[in-house]
Amino acid sequence: MAMKEYLKEAIQQALSQMDGVPEGFEPELEAPRIAQHGDLATNCAMQLARHLRRAPLQIAEAIAACLVLDADRIARCEVVRPGFINFRFSKRHLYQSLAACLAAGLQFGRSRKGQGQRALVEFVSANPTGPLTVGHGRNAVLGDTIANLLEWIGYDVTREYYFNDAGRQMRVLGASVRGRYEQLTHAAGVATKMLRTGTDAEVVVPASFPDDGYLGNYIITIAKALAEKHGDALLTAEDEAPFTSAAKAAIFETIKGTLQRLGIVMDVFFNEQSLYDSGAVAAVLEALRDTGYIYQREGATWFKTSALGKDGDTVLVKSSGEPTYRLPDIAYHCDKIGRGFDRCIDVFGADHIATYPDILRALRLLKLDADRVEVIIYQFVTLLRGGKEVKMSTRKANFVTLDALITEVGADVARYFFLMRSAKRHLEFDLDLAKEASDKNPVFYLQYAHARICSIADKAASIGIETDASEDFSLLVHDAEVALIRQVVRFPSALSAAALAREPHRMIGYLREVAEQFSQFYHHCRILGEPRQIARARLALALAARVVLANGLAVLGITAPTSMERREERP
RNA sequence: GCGCCCGUAGCUCAGCCGGAUAGAGCGUCUGCCUCCGGAGCAGAAGGUCAGAGGUUCGAAUCCUCUCGGGCGUACCA
């Protein structure tokens, strides 16, 4: 990164000696796709061709002629075909960066880009009506990893879970538990009826069970616990409250346990109800009213979104007097901004696509800085079992819980699978592949490279070969060695690119390349058994690769094992 | 109808703030351990980047349209 800045300045210096360069022109530097072209390249000559009315190649040559570069840092600078200027780092620079990597160790890759900035990442935010599903898993892992990425570039990050434990949903939940409880505790038994699950299976439920009640077995578990604790004393309860609160507590316990298995710990659980209790919801509605974009019609309160670029208007308070979700959502975002967060990142499933534009409209009307709000929409997860799609619905009880998924494939594989694709694409999660063919799973490739380096380091130590950051790296000249150094040294910029884009999958791609470069190095360049100085230098390089793998996996929330179960001998 | 996302190798996907020869994994085929962990390495085959226009010195990438898939578009939560 420092190198990029250095070259940018050098180029600007050269450009300042030329006529006709537009004011404020900034040269761009990129790593060429093809390694042969160098470490960094600029296309600025081609961009300037229009303004200077000269051939790009000529301009590039003129720039190159004016460039003053430190030979200690840049070994080569060449002008090629259409008008690129390619730069190649000096070996010395690479060796210095390698030493820096080893010296920084577990801190390598951390930066201060976000220093002094506070970010709130809101994710999961599932209401306590049932266990987390596979869909929540993608949300949870994405949110947590984005939070990790932000922390690594210096942000002060708060992980927040927003939930609603009031309203119709919870009443139905309570009534469902009550129905099951009556079924369990009525000595004489209760009348029953049939309901259908999402897969059309029939379920026998008590007659008092709501038709749209929750059919999952976890409801029965909760009812059983109540029966054990209270006997049949709750049969005379006046309302669903004891059932609802027991259900809520039990379900939250389950949810927290599931998140913990994935290594996720929330900082704040934010209850929507608190926004009503504090008067924040009412205050926001009043403030919006003052903007003139609120009106009454047929007993409901409307937000005039049609005047703000939307197709129609939006109800904020129903004629029943009950607010829709929009209103507390708006109040919640006002609250977040009010708490002083510089970035408010929401991780939402694709089904929420329609809600956030309204929130942003409201924030702007209220003169709040809506630009602080970033919404990350991820597409749905398709779960495949036996090559067939598994359909999911919490209420209808045919879902695969996130817990079951973790048990089946393990937390590391689960995290990896949820992160390996761009959030904006549908994710195909093939259970059979994740589990049965785990030896083909790329997460093991990364972990294996790490474990292998640990093994080599142990063996080296046992025969008295140790190393530190002050090796003579100039002994590392093999193509595979230099390629690995290049890859390792890129880690900080790869990390910050992933963080700034909020795209964890980039980190996975980068780490896969690290493991690949390491494997090539490992096969081409022996460490143990070589002359001592070479062994030490190569060991140091391997340890640098280990640093990057360990730190990269830490960002992704995946463990970096020091050893892995040995496989059976190959035939 | 309207809004957002997607269409790239047999399959699953990178690449998308325009750049140099479109990449990877899996699958298929061929080689490779006397040796630091073979969950590996080396190599091969496999492409009208959905289609058509446009902008540009240059387009998988930007714009328009068409086709195909997903998700929304409730006084549901």
- A70: DSSP letter: -
The nucleotides of chain B lying under 7 Å from a protein CB are 1-6, 12-15, 19-21, 23-27, 33, 35-42, 57-58, 70-77
Q: Output A469 or A455, whichever has higher pLDDT.
A: A455
The complex's ipTM? 0.94
> pLDDT band at residue A260, thresholds of 50, 70 and 90?
very high
pLDDT surpasses 60 at A571: no
The pLDDT tens digits for A485-522 are 999 999 999 999 999 999 999 999 999 999 999 999 99
pLDDT at A303 (0 to 100)? 96
* Residues 146-165 of chain A in contact with strand B via CB under 7 angstroms: 164
* Element (DSSP H or E) covering residue A237: none
Shortest CA to C1' contact from A168: nucleotide: B77
Determine the average pLDDT of the residues in A326-336: 96
Identify which has the larger pLDDT, A197 or A101: A101
Q: Nearest nucleotide (C1') to the CA of residue A78?
A: B20
Beta strand A381-385 with A388-390 is antiparallel
d(CA A116, CA A114): 6
Q: How far is the CA of A413 from the C1' of B38 (A)?
A: 22
CB A59 within 8 A of CB A83: yes
Strand B close residues, chain A 378-417, CB < 7 angstroms: 379-380
**pLDDT given at position A56:** 87
- The pLDDT of residue A55: 84
The pLDDT score that the predictor gives to residue A436 is 67
**pLDDT higher at A33 or A331:** A331
Separation between the CA of A357 and the C1’ of B3 (whole angstroms): 11
Tell me which residues from 436 to 465 on chain A have a beta carbon below 7 angstroms from nucleic acid strand B. 438-440, 442, 444-445, 448, 451-452, 455-456, 459
Does the pLDDT of residue A199 top 70, yes or no? no
Q: Is the pLDDT of residue A393 over 80?
A: no
Q: How far is the CA of A498 from the C1' of B12 (A)?
A: 22
Return the percentage of chain A with pLDDT > 90, whole number: 73
**Local confidence band at A395 (pLDDT 50, 70, 90 cut-offs):** low
How far does the CA of A50 sit from the C1' of B57, in Å?
9
Collapse the DSSP code of A464 into the 3-class scheme (helix H, G, I; strand E, B; otherwise coil) and give the result. Answer: coil
Nearest-angstrom CA–CA distance, A69 and A412: 45
Query: In the prediction, which pLDDT does A365 show?
Result: 95
User: Is A33 within 7 A of strand B by CB distance?
Assistant: yes
Chain A 51-70 residues whose Cβ is under 7 Å from strand B: 56
Query: Pairing between strand A40-42 and A74-80?
Result: unpaired
Closest nucleotide to A566 by C1' from CA = B37
Does any strand B atom come closer than 7 Å to the Cβ of A86? yes
Residue A500 CB lies within 7 Å of the nucleic strand B: no
- Per-residue pLDDT reduced to its tens digit, A293-308: 999 999 999 999 999 9
Does residue A396 have a pLDDT over 60? Answer: no
Strand partners, A133: A401
Task: Report pLDDT for A47.
Answer: 87
Query: Helix count (H) and strand count (E) of chain A?
Result: 20, 17
> Which of A 349-368 have CB under 7 A of nucleic chain B?
350-355
**Stretch A355-376: mean pLDDT:** 94
**Helix residue ranges per DSSP H, A431-531:** 431-435, 442-462, 479-489, 491-501, 504-524
Distances (CA, A) of A51 to A20, A64, A79, A173, A203: 7, 18, 19, 67, 74
As a whole-number percent, the residues of chain A with pLDDT over 70 amount to 96
With CA of A321 and C1' of each nucleotide, the nearest comes out as B75
pLDDT of residue A62: 92
- Cα separation, A267 vs A157, whole angstroms: 9
Our measurement of CA A406 to C1' B52, in angstroms, reads: 47
Q: What is the mean pLDDT of chain A?
A: 91
CATH of A438-556, one of 1.10.730.10, 2.120.10.30, 1.20.1250.20, 1.10.1040.10: 1.10.730.10
Instruction: Look up residue A317 and give its two tokens.
Output: 């308070």
**Cα(A293)–Cα(A207) distance, rounded to whole angstroms?**
47
Domain assignments of chain A as residue spans, ordered by start: 3-89, 438-556
Which fold, A3-89? Gyrase A; domain 2 (3.30.1360)
CB A376 within 8 A of CB A502: yes
How does pLDDT run across A140-195, given as a tens digit for each residue?
Answer: 999 999 999 999 999 999 999 999 988 888 999 999 999 999 999 987 778 898 88
What's the burial of A145, exposed, middle or buried (CB within 10 Å: 0-12/13-18/19+)?
Answer: buried
- Joined together, the tokens standing for residue A420 give 């390996």
